Amino acid sequence: MGKDSKSAGKGKGKQAAGGSDDAASKGKAKGGKADGLGTCTYVKARHVLCEKQGKINEAYKKLQDGWLSNGDKVPPAEFAKIAAEYSECPSGKKGGDLGWFPRGKMAGPFQEVAFNTPVGVTSAPFKSTHGYHIILSEGRKN
């Protein structure tokens, strides 16, 4: 019985999952009440920018073949290689790294996708005033 009551206590999650809950809630506490999507003030992202749709689709296919079609997340280092190879943005030389940027700094569709893509997730290709993009969300904060 003693063992059961201990495991029941852990099952409630306060102590067993305390570490991970704390880490998750720290990020969310700052982000507001929602799941943090669309409510944060800053996003850290990498992107690939191509003028032509065919080229962005080619880059996206590499990401799909390597990871996305298996349901895997694209590792930032691998996304960086694709960005260096395909991106026509000066950030391509840095693996597409845009660093942290605030809401309001990026053009409409880009901001929309960047602030609504969960951390670790790669967006589908989309069009902005600058061309076609793929975004990898790396972080969010207020």
pLDDT band per the 50, 70, 90 thresholds, residue 33: very low
- pLDDT of residue 6 exceeding 50, the answer is no
Can you give the pLDDT at residue 107?
86
φ, ψ dihedrals at 112, nearest 5°: -55, -50
Can you give the pLDDT at residue 2?
47
Classify 138 as helix, strand or coil: strand
Give the residue, 31 or 95, on which the prediction is more confident. 95
Q: Cβ contacts of residue 137 below 8 Å, gap of 6+?
A: 43, 44, 45, 114, 117, 118, 119, 120, 121, 123
Residue 93 and residue 86 in contact, taking contact as beta carbons nearer than 8 Å: no
Average per-residue pLDDT for the chain: 82
Q: For residue 132, with 0-12 CB atoms within 10 Å meaning exposed, 13-18 middle and 19 or more buried, which class applies? A: buried
Classify 132 as helix, strand or coil: strand
**What CA–CA distances, in Å, run from 1 to 4, 8, 9, 12, 49?**
5, 10, 12, 17, 61
pLDDT in tens, 123-134: 999 999 999 999
Q: Cβ contacts of residue 32 below 8 Å, gap of 6+?
A: 39, 40, 142
Contacts 24+ apart (CB under 8 A), 7-14: none
Give the residue, 19 or 141, on which the prediction is more confident. 141
- pLDDT of residue 12 exceeding 50, the answer is no
Type of residue found at 123: S
pLDDT in tens, 43-81: 999 999 999 999 999 999 999 999 999 999 999 999 999
User: Which of 10-24, 26-40, 104-118 bottoms out in mean pLDDT, i.e. has the lowest?
Assistant: 10-24
Can you give the pLDDT at residue 103?
94
